[in-house]
Amino acid sequence: MTTDTMTVDRLRAIVDAYGADPTRWPAAERAAAEALLADSAAAQALVAEATDLDAALDAVPALQPTAAMRTAILAAAPRPSARSLFAQLHEGWSDLLGELGGWRMGGAVLAASLVLGIVSGGLLSEALSSEIAPGLLQLAYLDDGEMEY
Amino acid sequence: VDPDLELVRRAGVGDAPACAALVDRYLAKVTAFAGRTLANRADAEEVAQEVFLRVWQHAGSWRAGGARFSTWLYRVTLNLCHDRLRRRRETTLDAAGDPPSDAPQPGAELQRNAVVARVEAALAQLPERQREAILLCHYQELGNVEAAAILDVTVEALESLLSRGRRRLRQLLASEAQDLMGELR
């Protein structure tokens, strides 16, 4: 009996090599082999014969890695190099500039930010010295342990 | 396309989550494969750790277009296991196999361990290449193309190794097949 290009003889060779579980059969032939298996009693008998050996093999448990192994392996894993950190910074900087409209627009925006920072810093320090300073002085008095209230 | 390519590339530049993901994807597989190949826990654990040291050494220069990462990984594991087996053969004090535990076991567990021991003994009697073909295809569940690439043979040669290996296993286990199956069920 055949299904497409699959024959009972070829299925026998597949089962002899890969066992009874279709997930282990060659990917290129699996669909045709499964189609034959669905239709052929001879094919079903072949597969049934192979299940015992599969079950015996499956009884052998796998060695499991310990948590300590995982920790030790990850402790030896690569760390980001200075070069790759620089590359990440460069990438982030390029993205920011791109969002600001490129080097020219980015430069103009940064220059404006700088001027704004200087001006607002000057105004703020003047305001602090004239208005907030008395308040700060009171706070300093409060911290004086020898003063009585 | 190699499904591990991006992860390996990121691990190579020190991306910690990528390194962890790579370990989580392959550590159990490498440990199990080394464990079955060497039949010795301590040796298998050392091999698994050595495999990942090689991964860390090569990840930064890994390039697409050659072997798949997983194929390379299993080849490295197999080569390291071969080195251990060779050294074992060269030493007079053979460290092969873990000593059996003396701890008392419940009946069913004892019976199951006896089955496992018999199957392991049968596997150990196979010629090396036949055993490795079965380990890769049955236990590691690799496709025939990748398993053939790891063993550096054609797919037809792999199929021949598998068929001869399974036939020999059936012969070795035939005398006790009924007992084995009864105990497994």
What ipTM goes with this model? 0.86
**pLDDT surpassing 60 at residue B104:** no
Which positions in chain B touch A54 (Cβ < 8 Å)? 138
Burial label for B179, CB within 10 Å (0-12, 13-18, 19+), is middle
- The mean pLDDT value of chain B amounts to 89
pLDDT at residue B158 greater than cutoff 60: yes
Which is more confidently placed, A9 or B104? A9
Query: Taking CB atoms and an 8 Å cutoff, what residues of chain B touch A77?
Result: 11, 14, 16, 19, 23, 56
Contact B147, B158 (CB under 8 A): yes
For A17, the closest of B31, B45, B159 (CB atoms) is B159
- Give the number of other CB atoms < 10 A from CB of residue B95: 13
Beta-carbon separation of B120 and A60 below 8 A: yes
Give the model's pLDDT for residue A129: 46
Contacts of B130 (CB under 8 A, 6+ apart): B161, B162, B164, B165, B168
Candidate from A5-9, A100-104, B46-50 with smallest mean pLDDT: A100-104
- The answer to whether the CB atoms of B27 and A70 lie below 8 A apart is yes
A15 membership: H or E segment, kind and range: helix A8-18
Provide the pLDDT for residue A26. Answer: 97
**Separation in Å, CA of B184 to nearest CA in chain A:** 8
Q: In the predicted model, what is the mean pLDDT of residues B100-110?
A: 60
- Distance (Å, rounded) from C-alpha B88 to C-alpha B107? 34
pLDDT at B81 over 80: yes
> Cβ–Cβ of A63/B44 closer than 8 Å?
yes
Higher pLDDT, A136 or B100: B100
- Cβ–Cβ of B32/A64 closer than 8 Å? yes
In the predicted structure, residue B121 carries a pLDDT above the cut 60: yes
Q: What token pair was written down for B73?
A: 């990984």
Q: What is the pLDDT of residues A2-60, one digit of tens each?
A: 556 899 999 999 999 999 999 999 999 999 999 999 999 999 999 999 999 999 999 99
Residue of A nearest to B155 (CA): A26
Contact A73 B162 (CB under 8 A): no
Please state which of the ranges A85-94, B19-28, B146-155 shows the lowest mean pLDDT: A85-94
Rounded to the nearest integer, the mean pLDDT of chain A is 75
